């Protein structure tokens, strides 16, 4: 699906919450974040895949989505 189509999904009101490994984040963004290997984190992304936040707490990610008037959806 093209990025433009993803941006229209949810009308800007949906964010995607996904469990990620710090190893995957480090591999995708080398040198960008100072993370310990082996951590289990939560990533919150907009519908078009833009990262919104990265945290070690699911509750913090959900709270951040709510503060931004976004409905969090789980992605597996």
Q: Is 74 exposed, middle or buried (0-12, 13-18, 19+ CB in 10 A)?
A: exposed
The pTM assigned to this predicted structure is 0.78
pLDDT (tens digit, 9 = 90+) per residue, 17-46? Answer: 999 999 999 999 888 888 999 999 999 998
SS3 call for 24: helix
d(CA 49, CA 45): 5
End-to-end Cα spacing for the chain: 18
pLDDT value, residue 26: 93
pLDDT tens-place string over residues 46-70:
877 888 999 999 999 999 999 999 9
Residue 45 CA to residue 15 CA, distance in Å, equals 6
- For the chain, domain boundaries: 14-74
């Amino acid at each position: 699906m093209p990025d433009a189509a993803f941006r229209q999904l949810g009308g800007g009101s949906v964010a995607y919450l996904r469990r990620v490994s710090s190893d995957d984040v480090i591999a995708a963004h080398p040198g960008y974040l100072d993370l310990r290997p082996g951590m289990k984190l939560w990533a919150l992304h907009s519908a078009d895949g833009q990262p919104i936040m990265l945290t070690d707490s699911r509750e913090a990610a959900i709270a951040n989505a709510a503060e931004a008037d976004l409905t969090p959806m789980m992605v597996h």
